[in-house]
Amino acid sequence: MVDVAHNPPTPTNPEQTGAANGTTAALAGTAFRTASDTWASGRTRTLDWRARQLEGVEQLVTECEDELVAAMSADFGKPRVEAWLADLLPVANEARHARRSLRWWTRPRWTWPGMVNLPGSAWTVAEPLGTVLVISPWNYPVNLALTPVVAAVAAGNAVVLKPSELTPATSAALAQLVPRYLDPDGVVVVEGNADTASALLEQPFDHIFFTGSPTVGRVVMAAAAKHLASVTLELGGKSPVIVTADADVPVAARRIAWGKLLNAGQTCIAPDYVLADRAVADRLLEALPGALARMEGADPSATRTRIVNGRHLERLAGLLEHSGGRLVTGGGVDPQRGWIEPTVVADPDPESALMQEEIFGPVLPVLRVDGLDDAIRFVNARPKPLALYLFSGSREAERRVLAETTAGGTCLNHVLYQFVAPGLPFGGVGNSGTGAYHGRRGFEELSHRKPVVRRSVRVDPPFGYPPYDAWKEKLIRRLL
């Protein structure tokens, strides 16, 4: 996710910033103490509390759909169906799945104790981490705020949630609605800007869950290190699409266009660029403009999401201006409406900013490659992406891409859908993040899996204790 996705929290220094003193620091401290006191009381550990919070999240996004959709529309013009489909429905499904699975997830897991512990038994129990800070981004301001909360409360943690200031209407809606549906002392919402995020990062949270850019992710990790807090970092990156010579080109064009236009391309796992085999590159470039136009329909104002702010729009325009490629379609920028036309650029300079920065907009570069080997080399020469997509009719191509590339997740012959599979973890690797969540993986991410051994007191063989002689050593070696 690009840096504009969240204003960078800066390390606090009392002599250089007001984030470490005054009302902002006081607000952050109060929020942390409220949540940590609730955690210390023990009530977040009970299955009843967890289930009620999960039910509350589900009710919030269901009963308050109109209010949340209106807030997202006010913030950046997100169409109603898209807002429901991409922001509200996934949260409801995630909360429902966690609530129904809670007893199963929290059961002890038995394991072989090893010869040394016989007679005895061994198991693990999932215990909460404690007090969790969730710093969420603007691009999916409900989904990426509440889905981490689902994982955190399912695991029995108390939470402080900091929504993005770049979507103020949605942030205000969450600040108003969350206390109505969830325990206001167990899930505390704090609004504010980057100074507020910085002040929160000064607090000794047990875990920090951040979604944003790699640049800010490094700041978050450094802040967590001060308190030895664990982290989950969902960071994004340039997610490639490989189109092989035997791909179904019309289907690939349609699905890539859909993934690129969703939320105006402001999606951390959006197709960022395409590596098309020369045998099909021209056909793909011919098919993409029509696919993009059909997605927008006759009235783009009814289907387009705005670019979040003028700075981001200017950045996209600059990427296009210096791409070094051929404009196939689009390219128009409307600052008044906050729009940039769906755009395809053929053969951009691989060293241009368009091919170095995460685009985070409806701009799609298409590069020709000399087969699958060339595509794999191109991907592996760059930082590990959050997602990788392959369109191919060959199982051998699938096998090679899965075996020879690394990405946070992979989707074959479509885009984005790996995000919504309830049994799959979602997360990055390397530059695209650390840790994962969704479903059971989210519960495990926000839990500590504590090992336990129970030994019998009825059997206590003397050879296990010193002083050791040759006979004891021989017996121990034979038994163990």
Please check the confidence at residue 419 and state whether its pLDDT lies above 50: yes
The answer to whether residues 72 and 161 belong to one domain is yes
Structure confidence at residue 1 (pLDDT): 55
Residue 455 falls inside a structural domain: no
**pLDDT band at 476; cut points 50, 70, 90:** confident
Residue 258 falls inside a structural domain: yes
Determine the structural domain holding residue 290 and report its residue range: 240-427
Give whole-number Cα distances, 405 to 281, 322, 373, 382, 426, in Å: 22, 29, 11, 11, 17
Please check the confidence at residue 13 and state whether its pLDDT lies above 70: no
The answer to whether residues 422 and 435 belong to one domain is no
Please check the confidence at residue 12 and state whether its pLDDT lies above 90: no
Structure confidence at residue 87 (pLDDT): 96
Residue 256 falls inside a structural domain: yes
Residue 459 falls inside a structural domain: no
**pLDDT band at 17; cut points 50, 70, 90:** very low
The answer to whether residues 165 and 273 belong to one domain is no
Q: What is the CATH number of the domain that holds 146?
A: 3.40.605.10
Please check the confidence at residue 117 and state whether its pLDDT lies above 70: yes
Q: 16-30, 286-300, 439-453 — which one is most confidently predicted on average?
A: 439-453
Q: How many domains does the chain have?
A: 2
Structure confidence at residue 4 (pLDDT): 41
List the catalytic residues.
234, 268
> Coil, strand or helix: which one is 333?
strand
The answer to whether residues 341 and 219 belong to one domain is no
| Average pLDDT taken over every residue of the chain | 93
The answer to whether residues 69 and 217 belong to one domain is yes
Q: Tell me: the pLDDT tens digits for 22-41?
A: 789 999 999 999 999 999 99
Q: What is the CATH number of the domain that holds 318?
A: 3.40.309.10
The answer to whether residues 135 and 244 belong to one domain is no
Mean predicted confidence (pLDDT) in 72-101: 95
Q: What is the residue-wise DSSP string for 376-404?
A: HHHHHTSPPPSEEEEE-S-HHHHHHHHHH
Residue 338 · residue 312 · CB < 8 Å: no
Structure confidence at residue 8 (pLDDT): 38
Distance of alpha carbon 218 from its chain centroid, rounded? 15
Helices 89-105 and 47-63 pack at an angle, to 10 degrees, of 170
Q: Tell me: the pLDDT tens digits for 189-241?
A: 999 999 999 999 999 999 999 999 999 999 999 999 999 999 999 998 899 99
**pLDDT band at 14; cut points 50, 70, 90:** very low
Mean predicted confidence (pLDDT) in 282-299: 94
Please check the confidence at residue 6 and state whether its pLDDT lies above 50: no
Mean predicted confidence (pLDDT) in 252-272: 97
Please check the confidence at residue 2 and state whether its pLDDT lies above 70: no
Interatomic CA distance for residues 263 and 362, integer angstroms: 9
Interatomic CA distance for residues 344 and 328, integer angstroms: 5
Beta bridge partners of 120: 455
Structure confidence at residue 236 (pLDDT): 87
The answer to whether residues 191 and 274 belong to one domain is no
Least confident of 66-70, 142-146, 305-309: 305-309
> Coil, strand or helix: which one is 423?
coil
Q: What is the residue-wise DSSP string for 23-68?
A: HHHHHHHHHHHHHHHHHHHTGGGSHHHHHHHHHHHHHHHHHTHHHH
Helices 47-63 and 168-181 pack at an angle, to 10 degrees, of 130
Please check the confidence at residue 19 and state whether its pLDDT lies above 50: no
Is the pTM value of this prediction over 0.85?
yes
Structure confidence at residue 391 (pLDDT): 98
Structure confidence at residue 387 (pLDDT): 97
The answer to whether residues 185 and 258 belong to one domain is no
Q: What percent of the chain has pLDDT over 90?
A: 88
Please check the confidence at residue 21 and state whether its pLDDT lies above 90: no
Closest CA to 438 of 418, 411, 410: 418
Residue 275 falls inside a structural domain: yes
Beta bridge partners of 410: 388
Structure confidence at residue 461 (pLDDT): 87
Mean predicted confidence (pLDDT) in 367-393: 97
The answer to whether residues 256 and 402 belong to one domain is yes
Mean predicted confidence (pLDDT) in 182-186: 98
- CB within 8 Å of 444: residues ≥ 6 apart: 126
Residue 475 falls inside a structural domain: no
Residue 115 falls inside a structural domain: yes
Please check the confidence at residue 15 and state whether its pLDDT lies above 70: no
The answer to whether residues 262 and 346 belong to one domain is yes
Q: Tell me: the pLDDT tens digits for 88-107?
A: 999 999 999 999 999 999 99
The answer to whether residues 208 and 288 belong to one domain is no
Structure confidence at residue 299 (pLDDT): 84
The answer to whether residues 443 and 365 belong to one domain is no
Residue 352 falls inside a structural domain: yes
CA atoms within 13 A on the CB side of 268: 36
Structure confidence at residue 347 (pLDDT): 97
Structure confidence at residue 297 (pLDDT): 86
**Checking DSSP bridges between strand 387-391 and strand 409-412, what pairing results, if any?**
parallel
